[in-house]
Structure 1
Amino acid sequence: MTPAPPHGSPAAAGEEPATNTPADGPADAASGNPEHGSAGGRAGSPGGAPQRHLAHTWQEAWQLAFDCAAPIPAAPVALREALGRTLAADVEALVDLPHYASSAMDGWAVNGSGPWILAEPGQRLAPHQASPIVTGGLIPPGAKAVLRSESGTIASDEDGLPVLQLAGSAKPGEPRNGEHIRKAAEEAVAGEVLIKGGTLLNPAHLALAALGGHDALPVLGKAVVRLVFTGSEVVTAGIPQPGEVRDTFGPQLAGVVEMLGGICAGETKIGDSYTEWLAALEDTDPAPGIPAAAVGKLPARSTAEQLPADVVITTGGTGRSGTDHLRRSVAELGGRLLVDGIAMRPGHPAVLAELPDGRFIIGLPGNPLAAMMALSTLGAPLLAALAHRPLPPVTEVPCGAMIEPDPGRTRLMPFRLLYGMASPAQHTGPGMMRGLAAADGVLVVPPHGVQLGELVPAFALPWGAALPDLAAAKDKPAPKRAARKPGGTSGPVDWSELLG
């Protein structure tokens, strides 16, 4: 996974870059390279003088997060885990479907016309012999048809032996040759393509693959994501005391990762110490606590937990205080910063890094709305690239309010669609979630602000519907009304005119 070249300076993107002053501490040796998220260099040792650096613009960070990753190669997964995945190659039938001739009805397999002498189940039927059979049962050798249970009756012949006869409810000519027999290879022959590569797999596809003899299917890769939640003041249940905060990431972040195209395969909760941070980021064991001999023998739902992470997402620790250890931990592990701050708000201290083992680190701020905006900016394009998906679309919508300039910063504003215009939502402080919960999408407001009715870039939320192309609809000419017919004095009323 090789990072892409720089996408131009912040000034080239039309924004006045925001500046940050890094705290003292070990830094990535590559962080002085503009490719790696810093335009001015950083201190190379704990004792080095900190230097100012330029944050990426929102557009640069968005594009770089997509360009820095190569798609994860296709691999087979168990059928139960293939739902919703994209098939990487054609799937052929390994056997005929069905692979044997079977009965479509409960009744009797028969040879010739009746009455029929009853034979032992499973033996070859001679002419005028029959044997009981159930739906799906194997058609015995010599059988020519199946007589339905409601069309036959057991009687006794002149010697008192049981025989099968047609019942009074039997249809004329029943059973015809081949009737109620499901022939082998009726649905497909071995080697026939059952599902085309590139198909988005639904439950019926999985059932068809199972019928075709498959236990696993080759699917396009997705990123395995592990979550690291930080903060000793965070509580996961109940009402927090003063000085404590309720966990907002645990209930939602794994689900959002899945919506963005990742596979969430584990969560870790740590405190605020550097040793805890370092241990959480350097831990590459695919399944802590699971013996090596057990790998491969676990149930299907545990497969993802056996895989090493492709992406680690952390919450908090991206600021510059004494308890923020993300950058120091990345440097200690030999990693490099691809994005070290974004000229946006909320979410400007977001971090994107890459470790020598190929894992990506996404550092989200600790405030919930700021974190979601950072995840949308860095996580959405990165996970899309790893999952063989295109860059998420950014469309334009007419703004329903005038937004003042904020030089040097792009602002991400949740909005509601009202009367065809995007109106910024209320309750959108960095630590608030009420505005985002009711939003239809997010405006990407440029530093120079927006005038009422002006088109502004916007993107959809992972859990929301795609944004309508309101800009195109605004420019589209109104459809012409059909000419109304002159009213008459007699005959039926043409009510369609009322619907014009």
Structure 2
Amino acid sequence: MTAPAEVPKVSPQPTHRPGAAPWPEARRTARTAARPLPRDSRLLAEALGHVLARPLSALTDLPAFDTSAMDGWAVAGPGPWRLGGAILAGDSSPRPLEDGAAVRIATGAQLPRGATAVLRSEEGEVLGGILTAARAPGLGQDVRPRGQECRTGDELLSTGCPVTPAVLGLAAAAGYDALTVVPRPTVEVLVLGDELLPAGLPRDGHVRDALGPLLPPWLRGLGADVLGTRRVGDTREALREAVSSSTADVVVTTGGTASGPVDFVHSVLSDLGARLLVDGVAVRPGHPMLLAVLPGGRHLVGLPGNPLAAVSGVLTLAEPLLSTLAGLPRADAYAAALTTAVPGHPADTRLVPVTLHDDGGASALRFHGPAMLRGLAAADAFAVIAPGGADAGADVEILELRW
């Protein structure tokens, strides 16, 4: 892992667009730019990864009836017991037990009326049809009583809970065949830049595409379904066709957001009649990022082309937007104390990759330039450094890497 080191000072570079949004304001704008997608009913097998759109309330008591927690004998009274028959899991309406009687029972089987406890297999002995035990089981021993886990109508999980495999299991146990969920928003990634190579070593002025492999799994980790990644040539027409033909809820572009000779994102958005919500953010790295509403209510997040600057755009704009669309609750913010001073930009927020320590500290990492990923690959999180910097020991906001 890359060793922590003091972060070099940042020289003033007021190159972002006039009127660039302060970083906290840009995050708030992205979070409120949309509403959760319309709720939908999904079979359990299709609900994984979505978010509950309504509370999950129990449709039955759990357990639905008194059951045996162990293999053994259901017994009535203090013993010894007359033994007869057996009850397996799935047997319905077992015959009641009279005082002094016992029946063989399997784990999970319904307890017969009149049973007072379950005697474990290893604690009983059968001789001549009579069951005995060195010590009689206490009342209710090894019995899972009806409603032990929940009663019908109890709220098991609240709205906004992600549907995990464990949630699917709980929902099935509680009687559900389908769940009402907020679907995962769909995303398409458009990688811009004729200088990018899909494979091999950098050569002849061309560099490897780092964002094509990086962004899709990251966006999936933020709750999105990535429809695909398209490479788009450096022409206005190619970009306009790619954006207008996309069916995704959110289009994510990489590069082309500044004012270079082949930076066409702004002009294409103007061509399409899009509405800019964020046009530049006072943050380092990544200040040329943008957020726009496309015709029909879809969104476009324009990320800078430099890899770490693009990651800054994901944390600033894509993550809060996708969280809202997916119906995810806002993550609780928390702080960590810096182990060393971290210089700041005079006017802009800085996002600095850090490692986190068990004692609650955070150490800034080297290799944090806009085009660098080495620091990110070793990082646990990003620290939010306010304009002017932060001293050693200062508590700073932490942005976790949710992937």
Q: Same fold (TM over 0.5)?
A: yes
Letter in 1 for 2:131: L
Matched, 1:382 2:321: yes
Aligned pair count reads 375
Q: Which residue of 1 aligns with 2:107?
A: 135
Amino acid at match of 2:134: K
* More strand per residue: 2
Correspondence for 1:257: 219
**Which structure 2 residues correspond to residues 338-353 of structure 1 after superposition, within 5 A?**
338-342=277-281, 345-353=284-292
Q: Tell me the distance in 2 between the aligned counterparts of 1:232 and 1:68.
A: 32
Paired residue for 2:83, among 87, 100, 116?
Answer: 116
Find the counterpart in structure 2 of residue 211 from structure 1. 173
The aligned counterpart of 2:187 is 225
Match of 2:20? 56
Query: Match for residue 126 of structure 2?
Result: 153
| Cα shift at 1:99 | 1.6
* 1:43-442 equivalence runs, <5 A: 54-59=18-23, 61-72=26-37, 89-109=54-74, 114-118=81-85, 124=95, 132-139=104-111, 146-150=118-122, 151-153=124-126, 155=128, 164-167=129-132, 170-172=133-135, 174=136, 180-195=142-157, 207-218=169-180, 223-257=185-219, 261-272=222-233, 273-274=235-236, 276-285=238-247, 309-321=248-260, 323-342=262-281, 345-386=284-325, 387-389=328-330, 400=341, 410=348, 412=350, 414=352, 426-437=366-377, 441-442=382-383
- Paired with 2:361 and 2:157, the residues of 1 have a C-alpha distance of 43
- Could you say if the C-alpha distance between residues 67 and 133 of structure 1 is closer, same or farther in structure 2, counting changes exceeding 3 Å? closer
Residue segments in structure 1 that go unaligned for 5+ positions in a row: 1-14, 21-53, 156-163, 286-308, 465-500
For 1:463, the equivalent position in structure 2 comes to 401
- 1:61–1:212 Cα change, 3 Å: closer
The one-character-per-residue Cα deviations of 1:285-330 (angstroms, maximum 9, x if unpaired) are 5xxxxxxxxxxxxxxxxxxxxxxx4322111232445644433443
- Asked if 1 retains the 8 angstrom alpha-carbon contact of 2:338 and 2:363, the reply is no
Task: Report Cα offsets for 1:199-220 as digits up to 9, x if no partner.
Answer: 6777766544332112455567
Equivalence for 1:495: none
> What CA distance in whole angstroms lies between the structure 1 residues aligned with 2:362 and 2:259?
35
Q: Could you tell me whether the CA contact under 8 Å between 2:83 and 2:130 is conserved in 1?
A: yes
Contact (CA 8 Å) 2:283, 2:351: kept in 1 or not?
no
* C-alpha spacing 1:328/1:104, structure 2 compared with 1 (3 Å): same
* C-alpha separation in 2, matches of 1:134 and 1:451: 66
Deviation at 1:94, TM superposition (A): 0.8
User: Does structure 2 conserve the Cα–Cα contact (< 8 Å) formed by 1:380 and 1:392?
Assistant: no
SS of structure 2 residue aligned to 1:194: strand
How is 1:465-480 mapped onto 2 (pairs within 5 angstroms)? none
Alpha carbons 2:197, 2:207 under 8 Å: kept: yes
> Relative to 1, partners in 2 of residues 1:149 and 1:223: Cα closer, same or farther, differing over 3 Å?
same
1:174-221 CA-to-partner distances (Å, cap 9, x unmatched) read 477766444433433322333455767777665443321124555677
Cα deviation for residue 355 of structure 1 reads 0.8
1:397-455 Cα shifts (integer Å, max 9, x gaps): 898366686xxx6363626699x999976433321223444566455564xxx489599
Asked if 2 retains the 8 angstrom alpha-carbon contact of 1:373 and 1:412, the reply is no
C-alpha distance in structure 1 between counterparts of 2:396 and 2:271, whole Å: 37
Shift in CA distance, 94/284, structure 1 to aligned 2, threshold 3 Å: farther
Structure 2, gaps ≥5 residues long: 1-11
Shift of 1:64: 3.5
Q: Percent identity?
A: 38
d(CA) in 2 for partners of 1:190, 1:225:
39
**Take 2:332 and 2:212, find their aligned partners in 1: how far apart are those partners?**
27
The SS at the match of 2:171 is helix
Deviation of 1:270 after TM superposition, in Å, equals 1.8
Letter in 1 for 2:20: H
Distance (whole Å) between structure 2 residues aligned to residue 142 and residue 248 of structure 1: 69
Name the CA shift for 1:248/1:424 in 2 (closer, same or farther; >3 Å): same
Contact 2:16 2:281 in 1 (8 A): no
Which deviations, in whole Å up to 9, do the C-alpha atoms of 1:233-275 show, x marking residues without a partner? 434455343433223224432444356x442433322231555
* Aligned-partner residue type, residue 269 of structure 1: R
Q: Contact conserved, 2:60 with 2:153, CA < 8 A, in 1?
A: yes
1:430 aligned partner, one-letter code: P
The 1-side partners of 2:189 and 2:241 are apart by 13
Task: Tell me which moved more, 382-391 or 204-213.
Answer: 382-391
Equivalent residue letter for 2:371: G
Q: Distance in 2 between matches of 1:16 and 1:367?
A: 16
Aligned-pair RMSD on alpha carbons?
4.8
Separation (CA, whole Å) in 2 of partners of 1:456 and 1:130 = 68
* Kept after mapping to 2: 8 A contact 1:384/1:392: no
For residue 249 of structure 1, what is the amino acid of its counterpart? L
Structure with bigger RCO (C-alpha 8 Å, 6+ apart): 2
AA of the residue aligned to 1:432? M
CA distance in 2, matches of 1:186, 1:456: 48
- Residue identity in the other structure for 1:94: L
Contact 2:219-2:226 at 8 Å conserved across structures = no
- C-alpha separation in 2, matches of 1:230 and 1:197: 38
**Cα distance change of structure 1 residues 238 and 223 upon mapping to structure 2, 3 Å threshold:** same
